Structure 1
Amino acid sequence: MTTGTHRDARYPQRIPRLLQSHANMYSSNIVVLGLRVAQFTLGFVVLGLSAYVANWYNVDTMSPPPAQIDWLLFVSLFTIISIGVLEGVPKFAPRFFHPYAALSLEFSNALFYFAGFIALSTLMSNLPFCRGSVCSAARADVAFGIFEFLLWVASTIITSRDIFKKGFRRSNNTQAPLGVPPMKEALAP
């Protein structure tokens, strides 16, 4: 009978590699889950700030809100729906989930936030004066748009790394629905 130290001396790399692969898998899932929570929360923050500025334009001024504010309203709603799709479809309808579609959805969110915060910051820099709670809300909207952009870039990088590292593989389950075995061809007489 061998002792634990003797066995570990013969196979020094076996246990750490096994634990490391599982640790990387779990840490990646935890990081993505943390990113999703932050994206979802900041999506509602951007939605609230953009809605506040748009409401001010609709109620207190005679002009419609700028297109930049409307764009960030759209992008925040797109983010909330995207997170529902990215987290719900793999769990509840895995047959309809495609990793490249998820990657394109994440990349489009990052691109939309990039366009949104750049456009709104350009608008804010061209204003002759900016004061009051509406101006502060618009400035905060730019800042949270930057944070959302960075979060979506991080999750896009993680997703692309996982896709290109593991490759895209469909399951080899050829069984029919409800557990019916596939039909077999009969031999010709």
Structure 2
Amino acid sequence: MGHAIMFPLRILQFVTAAAVLVLSSYVAHWYDADTLTASPSQFNFLIFTGVWSLGSIFYLEVVPRKWPRGSHPYTSFALESLTTIFHLSGFIALAVFLSKLLFCRGSVCTAARIDVGAASFGFVLWVVSTVMVAIEIFKGGFRR
């Protein structure tokens, strides 16, 4: 892609996805190991979102460079849009879950709150990159 801002944006998306993955895994492990209940589905979904985001970044950055015939602009746009929707639904679900807790203290609660912030920041980053890809497509770019 011709935008000079896209690669630094992908780096931020990678860092954010890794942070969401680590924080969600930490809280899910705490639930599974230290409580009698299973980890809430909101954390499990954010684990999925983190893994999905890392896979998306691989496709969006590596495939066009190494295997250009395997990359298509509409696939890139669909992948960007889907990842944006996953981040939106994940951080909203977790924020609602945390707001309904009666008791939330300690490092696990702090990690969960930071997880909401990281996922919402990831959502903003994915919205920006999705809009940039959409503008490029509608301007007639990404021709094969």
Cα distance, 1:134 vs structure 2: 0.4
Task: Give the aligned length.
Answer: 144
* Structure with higher RCO (Cα < 8 A, 6+ apart): 2
Separation of aligned partners in 2, 1:40 and 1:161: 22
Cα distance, 1:74 vs structure 2: 0.3
Matched, 1:44 2:18: yes
Query: Would the aligned equivalents of 2:14 and 2:53 in 1 still touch at CA under 8 Å?
Result: yes
2:86 maps to which of 103, 108, 112 = 112
Residue of structure 1 in register with 2:49 after alignment = 75
Matched, 1:154 2:128: yes
Residue of structure 2 in register with 1:98 after alignment = 72
Q: What are structure 1's unaligned runs of at least 5 residues? A: 1-24, 171-189
Which protein is richer in helix relative to its size? 2
Cα distance, 1:167 vs structure 2: 4.5
Percent identity for Structure 1 against Structure 2: 47
Cα distance, 1:169 vs structure 2: 3.1
Whichever residue aligns with residue 40 of structure 2, its letter is: P
Deviations 1:19-46 (A, max 9, x none): xxxxxx85x2x21001100000111111
Whichever residue aligns with residue 143 of structure 1, its letter is: G
Whichever residue aligns with residue 119 of structure 1, its letter is: A
Separation of aligned partners in 2, 1:107 and 1:134: 31
Separation of aligned partners in 1, 2:30 and 2:18: 18
Cα distance, 1:48 vs structure 2: 0.7
Separation of aligned partners in 1, 2:41 and 2:18: 19
Separation of aligned partners in 2, 1:33 and 1:109: 17
Give RMSD over aligned pairs. Answer: 1.2
Separation of aligned partners in 2, 1:102 and 1:169: 13
Query: Would the aligned equivalents of 2:136 and 2:142 in 1 still touch at CA under 8 Å?
Result: no
Where 1:166 maps in the other structure, the secondary structure is coil
Q: What are structure 2's unaligned runs of at least 5 residues? A: none
Whichever residue aligns with residue 133 of structure 1, its letter is: S
Whichever residue aligns with residue 54 of structure 1, its letter is: A
Residue of structure 2 in register with 1:32 after alignment = 6
Separation of aligned partners in 2, 1:157 and 1:78: 19
2:27 maps to which of 53, 78, 81 = 53
Normalised to the residue count of structure 1, the TM-score between the two structures is 0.74
